Structures are given as C-alpha cells and as structure tokens.
C-alpha cells in the first residue's frame, strides 16, 4: 500500500530539511521525499496547516516491566503508551525480573514486542549478572540477541573497576554504557532532593553531588577507555558541568534529561498535594537552579536527548507513605506535550532542535535505525500538532499505570499521529488528521 503525506512541514535535521514537503510511503518504507509529488496510485493524506512531520521519536529510557512485573506494565501496554505519546521506538531497561542479563530474556522481550506489533523495542542489557555489580553479563550474547546498550539502571555500576571493564568490553561492539549516576553512600536512604522542601517536610535528602560524583566517575573512565558513556536521567547542575567538561575535552560522553526534570522542581513535594508520591522519583525533582540548568543545557546543546525514564508503578504501590513508595513516574504520553509547551513555545529551542533531542540523537547514541526521513528508510514517522491544546488526564493514559504528577495539566502542543513501518498506530481524534 502506498500513502502520500501531502503538505506538511517536514523537519528532518539529518538531511537538512525544514519546510513543506510531501512524503511518499510505500509499504513499510519511505519511498520519496519532495515537493508536489504525484499521487499516482497512493492514497493521499492532506495534512492540515501547522502539522509537522518528524522522524519517529525514540525514547531511549523506558521501563516496560516485562518479564516479572506485568501488573505495572507489559511490553504490549508500554508500546501502546509509546505510540500514543508519539514514540515509534523505545529502549527498555534491564531491571526486569529476571534481569535482562541473559539472551533468553532479551529474546523473550523481543518476542513480546513482535506480538504486540506496536512501537519498536530496543532492549538494553545488564552490565553485570543480576545487575549485582560483581561479574560482567554475557555482553556478546546479549548483543547478538538484540541488545543495543548495557546498563545496571536503577543503580550505578557497583565499582569503578567494573564500570571500566564494561566500557572497555562493550566498546569492542560499539555499544554505549548507560549509567544511572549516583554515589550510593551519599544517597543513603534519601527519598527526595536535599533542599529546603525536603528539610521542611522531614524527608531524607540526597544532594545533587550524589549524582554528579557518578557522572564525574563515568566521564573519567570514558576518557580512560575511549568508550562511549551515556548519562541517564541527568538532573543536577553539577552533573551538567561534568558532562560539559568531558565534551570539551573530547570525551565520548552523552546525556539525557527527563521532562519532569526540566518542568518541575522540589517545590512539587509540598504543593499542590503535600507528599504526593507521584513527585517521588530517582533522581529526584531538584531545586530551581538545577531545573534551570537542565533547560540551559537543552538550549545550548550540551544535552543530547530527552528521555522519559517511564517508570510505571501500580496504584497500590504509590498509595503508601512517601518514604515507602517506589521511585518513578510514567512519561511516555506526557513527554511531547511538555517538551513543546516548555521548550518550544517558551522560545528556548526551535522545533528542529526538539527533533534532534527526541529522534536524531537517541538513534545516533544507540546506533539504531531511524532518526531521519531519508528515502529507503523504514517509515517511522511522528506527526506533531504544535498548537493543539492538550489536557493530561491520568485516567486516560494507555499505560497500565497512571502514576503521573501532570494529571490535569493543560499544555500547548501534542501528537497528531504516529506511524511505525508505515502503519498509522496512533491517530489523535482531537487533531485535524485522518489516516
């Protein structure tokens, strides 16, 4: 089947395109990109003015929870959430049960993804067996089975020597090591950012330095090994400083920031709902200076990617005392509206930069396909409606879990449609589009 997307503003930074173009999709591929393409035997989709056609967004930090925690999320529900949020692909973290430290687990996840047949799934394997930090996982096996990177996410790699070995070994395959940066002793039993709000609410704190120590360690080891090191869910201004220093020195370091870390601050711990467990995540919501630093890093190019750290948790698990609640919030279906509203409409970045953050750079960092609308590539396409009014409603999320602090937020900008391999898997009924 052929489909001609006509009259949309196409943003394809990899090919230097930002302008009105037609895109001809033939089967699962992009056949042609150009102006005034003839319809011939294709069905024509006339895109309303204002709709923006982008290479499919890739969320490089997602917890799909399967196997083992299917009450929170499954590969099927998580990828349904992904396409509803404008993501044509997700990279899923290995802290499942069992841990994805074994090719059989990778294969299991990919089988589930094939059955669901929604967003593409790129599994990320564990650095160490059981993510326990003692012995390296069978990284070559994991890669062969389909893993695109390794991490012990949820925790930092236990020792500097193991992180060094992981960087060296994974570097052999060109796989990046993704690190949850944190000094465990400084974190202690902290549940919130160490600052005024945690102090006044009586919550145990963890300072930004706790994260930055982990970033510094990783940057030094990336320099030592020459391998690619990626900082997951960066939140602290001291971490950004370390990343910039590394980049300036030619170290292969990249980083991602989650939407909650460029929108919210630790003030959300106290209001509107005090002790709302949907404001509890790790790394925590930090103070305004950190949030502003993340915005600056996104603006000046120091930040490479926006990734959600989509962390579904069941209602029962969050309906407890703050210090007993698990860390994390869902993010797949709120990331694009938050990014458009807080980054593009505030004038901080242009749409083309947002496409780099959500598509081009994640594809590059993970060495996976996508990130462009080049002819011959799979037709993974996100169509954005930058001026659509969006109201976040937790109860309506496709994710199996509804743990979001953004319930009720009204934002400008949303996803009009998501196509994976040419198939329209999500079409927003509130956008002026029919596919």
Partner 1 sequence: MNATVHGLDPSVTITTLRSKDLLGIADLTPVEINLVLDTADAMKEIASRPIKKVPALRGKTVVNLFFEPSTRTRTSFEIAEKRLSADTLNIAIATSSVVKGETLADTAMNLEAMRPDMIVLRHSSSGACHLLSRICRSAIINAGDGMHEHPTQALLDAFTIRERKKQLKGLKVAIVGDLLHSRVLRSNILLLTKMGANVWVCGPPTLMPTEIARFGVTATSSVDEAVRDADVIMMLRIQLERMEGAFFPSLREYFNVFGMTEARMHLARPDVMIMHPGPMNRGVEIASEVADGPYSVILDQVANGVAVRMAVLYLLAGGAEHEEAA
Contacting range for partner 1; rule: CB under 8 A; set: 68-76, 80-88, 242-250, 312-320:
312-320
In the complex with partner 1, which residue's Cβ is closer, 97 or 271? 271
Select from 66, 286, 61 the least CA-distant residue to 178. Answer: 61
Neighbours of 241 (CB within 10 A): 16
In the complex with partner 1, which residue's Cβ is closer, 172 or 273? 273
* Per CB under 8 A, 288 contacts partner 1: no
Residue of 57, 108, 322, 406 interacting with partner 1 (CB under 8 A): 322
Write the DSSP assignment of 56-82 as a string of letters: PEEEEEE---TTT-TTT--HHHHHHHH
Residue of 48, 159, 249, 324 interacting with partner 1 (CB under 8 A): 324
Query: Looking at the chain, how many residues does it have?
Result: 435
Strands 2-12, 17-26: pairing kind: antiparallel
Q: Where are the alpha helices (DSSP H) in 188-311?
A: 196-201, 208-225, 237-248, 259-263, 288-300
DSSP tag of 183: -
* Per CB under 8 A, 407 contacts partner 1: no
DSSP tag of 366: H
Of the residues 153, 304, 309, 380, which is catalytic? 309
Helix or strand or coil: residue 195? coil
Smallest gap from residue 200 Cβ to partner 1 (A): 7
* Per CB under 8 A, 194 contacts partner 1: yes
* Per CB under 8 A, 195 contacts partner 1: yes
- Rounded to the nearest 5 degrees, what angle is found at the Cα of 122, between the Cα atoms of 117 and 126? 135
* Per CB under 8 A, 275 contacts partner 1: yes
Residue of 323, 375, 393, 407 interacting with partner 1 (CB under 8 A): 323
Residue of 94, 205, 370, 386 interacting with partner 1 (CB under 8 A): 205
In the complex with partner 1, which residue's Cβ is closer, 143 or 193? 193
Locate 397 and state its tokens: 């999320």
Locate 143 and state its tokens: 């890669």
In the complex with partner 1, which residue's Cβ is closer, 41 or 189? 189
59 is catalytic: no
How many residues sit in the footprint of partner 1 (CB under 8 A)? 21
Q: Where are the alpha helices (DSSP H) in 146-188?
A: 160-171, 184-187
Catalytic residues, by residue number, are 309
By the criterion CB under 8 A, which residues form the site for partner 1? 194-196, 198-205, 273-275, 316, 319-324
């Amino acid at each position: 089947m052929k489909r001609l997307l006509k009259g949309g503003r196409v943003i394809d930074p990899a090919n230097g395109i930002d302008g009105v173009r037609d895109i001809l999709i033939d089967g699962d591929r992009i056949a042609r990109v150009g102006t005034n393409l003839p319809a011939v035997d294709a069905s024509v989709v006339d895109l309303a003015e204002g709709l923006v056609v982008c290479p499919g967004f890739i969320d490089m930090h997602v917890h799909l929870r399967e196997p083992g925690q299917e009450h929170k999320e499954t590969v099927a529900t998580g990828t349904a959430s992904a396409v509803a949020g404008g993501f044509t692909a997700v990279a899923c973290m290995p802290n499942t049960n069992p841990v994805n430290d074994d090719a059989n687990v990778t294969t299991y996840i990919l089988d589930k993804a094939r059955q669901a047949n929604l967003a593409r799934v790129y599994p990320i394997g564990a650095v160490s067996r059981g993510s326990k930090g003692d012995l390296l996982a069978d990284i070559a096996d994991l890669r062969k089975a389909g893993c695109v990177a390794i991490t012990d996410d949820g925790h930092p790699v236990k020792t500097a020597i193991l992180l060094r070995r992981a960087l060296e070994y994974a570097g052999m395959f060109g796989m990046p090591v993704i690190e949850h940066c944190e000094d465990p002793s400084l974190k202690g039993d902290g549940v919130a950012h160490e600052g005024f709000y945690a102090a006044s609410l009586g919550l145990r704190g963890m300072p930004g330095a706790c994260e930055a120590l982990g970033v510094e360690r990783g940057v030094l080891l990336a320099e030592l090994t020459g391998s690619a090191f990626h900082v997951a869910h960066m939140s602290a201004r001291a971490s950004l400083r370390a990343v910039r220093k590394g980049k300036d020195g030619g170290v292969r370091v990249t980083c991602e920031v989650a939407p909650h870390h460029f929108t919210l601050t630790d003030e959300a711990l106290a209001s509107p709902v005090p002790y709302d467990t949907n404001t509890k995540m790790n790394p925590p919501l930090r103070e305004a200076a950190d949030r502003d630093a993340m915005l600056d890093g996104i603006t000046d190019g120091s930040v490479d990617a926006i990734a959600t750290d989509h962390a579904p948790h069941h209602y029962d698990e969050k309906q407890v005392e703050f210090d007993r609640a698990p860390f994390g919030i869902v993010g797949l279906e709120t990331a694009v509206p938050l990014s458009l509203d807080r980054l593009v409409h505030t004038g901080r970045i242009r749409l083309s930069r947002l496409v780099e953050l959500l598509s081009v750079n994640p594809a590059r960092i993970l060495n996976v396909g996508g990130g462009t609308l080049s002819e011959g590539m799979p037709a993974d396409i996100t169509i954005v409606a930058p001026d659509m009014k969006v109201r976040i409603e937790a109860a309506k999320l496709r994710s199996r879990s509804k743990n979001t602090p953004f319930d009720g937020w009204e934002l400008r900008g949303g996803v009009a449609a998501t196509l994976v391999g040419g198939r329209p898997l999500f079409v927003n009924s509130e956008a002026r589009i029919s596919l």
